Structure 1
Amino acid sequence: MAGLVFVGVVALIIALFIYYYNKLVSLRNLSEASWSDIDVQLKKRWDLIPNLVETVKGYASHEKDTLENVTKARNMAMGAGSVEAHAKAENMLTGALKSLFALSESYPELKANVNFLELQNSINSIENDIQLARRYYNAVVRDLNTMCESFPSLIVAGMFRFTKKEYFEMDSAQRENVQVKF
């Protein structure tokens, strides 16, 4: 009888070990796939920005600083390596784009330009997609981080070197309204 209990306990421990390992692998793969989804959306936005800058240049060429800030922020975002660096660079790019769109309020002919309106709508649509992809990524990262910190899954996470991942977060500067001064 004691032998059966021992075998049952060992079988239960092995089953839990397998369950937690598979769950951690699944969450790690989901986090990588969801980061890839974010990356695809960011690439779409990066590809539209040069067209937007060229369109605005035709109407507001003397707003050189704003246009340079958008281009600089785009280049920084494209070169970011880690999730934290991406988040910081993307937050700067979003702020620069907000300034560019706010700038268009002062140029009625730009605001009425079909190309500009289409680019603006495309970027707004992509921004919504990025927000959804960010939310999903952060939810998966939350679940993975919880598994890496919770008992007994933290034992399996430690044995196989599963690590916590960083959230893709908005910084406090992005939460503020854009101020445009003329």
Structure 2
Amino acid sequence: MKKNTLVIAIITIIILVGGLFLNDYNKLVKYDESTKAAWSQVENQYQRRSDLIPNLVNTVKGYASHEKETLQQVVEARSKATSIHIDPKNMNSTDMKQFYDAQGELSQALSRLMVVVEKYPDLKANENFQMLQAQIEGTENRISVERKRYNDMVNEYNTYLRKFPHNIVAGLFGFSKVDYFKSEEQAQKAPKVEF
């Protein structure tokens, strides 16, 4: 009788511990997938911005044909930014830095383009230009929102990953921390504005 009770107790403990490991594993998978989905939304918004740029460049071209250098810089920056893709399964800080840098160059090129636009009142009044400018501004806001959502998800995932006993399950199954989306270094300095 005692032998049966001991066997039942051992089986019960194994089932409980196995259930806890299984539950932790499933939560880690959920957080991992949610983090990847959040990153995909960040990329989706950057792609939306890239898709709008050719229309913006073509609209400006009609008014500012002699501003070829600025237009070319925007086109080149867009090309570079769209050529960098990050695999969410293998994200690392080097890939993220390349992505940030390319997107930062594109943002700077767009800023220079908007300065050029100031010289052309007819262009600023153009309905197509106004619509594209509004869409790009809206997309920039969406990018900001999606980056925040991504960082929130990374925080939730990394926090869960580091807690005991989740860290044991994470280590056993190869789950590792994910990098946050960080702002570019130049974004931390206030821009110098001169009149």
TM-score after normalising by structure 1: 0.85
1:52 and 2:65 aligned: no
1:64 to 40, 59, 68: 68
Q: Secondary structure at the match of 2:118?
A: helix
* Counterpart residue number, 2:91: none
Q: Secondary structure at the match of 1:106?
A: coil
Q: Secondary structure at the match of 1:167?
A: coil
Equivalent residue runs for 1:48-127 within 5 Å: 48-82=52-86, 84=96, 85-127=98-140
Aligned partners of 1:157, 1:119: CA distance in 2, in Å?
46
* Counterpart residue number, 2:185: 172
Any stretches of 5+ residues in structure 1 without a counterpart? Answer: none
Q: Shift of the alpha carbon at 1:19? A: 2.2
**Does the 8 Å CA contact 1:66/1:100 hold for their aligned counterparts?**
yes
Q: Could you tell which deviates more after superposition, 125-134 or 101-110?
A: 101-110
TM-score after normalising by structure 2: 0.80
Letter in 1 for 2:34: L
* Counterpart residue number, 2:32: 28
Change (3 A) 1:142 1:43: same
* Counterpart residue number, 1:154: 167
Change (3 A) 1:140 1:171: same
- Name the % identity: 41
Q: Shift of the alpha carbon at 1:162? A: 1.2
Post-superposition Cα deviations, 1:48-92, rounded to whole Å, max 9, x if no partner, equal 101111111222223223212211111111111335032221122
Change (3 A) 1:77 1:40: same
Q: Could you tell which deviates more after superposition, 61-70 or 1-10?
A: 1-10
Aligned partners of 1:178, 1:98: CA distance in 2, in Å?
12
Any stretches of 5+ residues in structure 2 without a counterpart? Answer: 87-94
1:43 to 44, 47, 56: 47
* Counterpart residue number, 1:136: 149
Q: Secondary structure at the match of 1:163?
A: coil
Higher Rg of the two aligned structures: 2
Aligned partners of 1:161, 1:70: CA distance in 2, in Å?
41
Change (3 A) 1:120 1:80: same
Q: Shift of the alpha carbon at 1:170? A: 1.7
Q: Shift of the alpha carbon at 1:20? A: 1.5
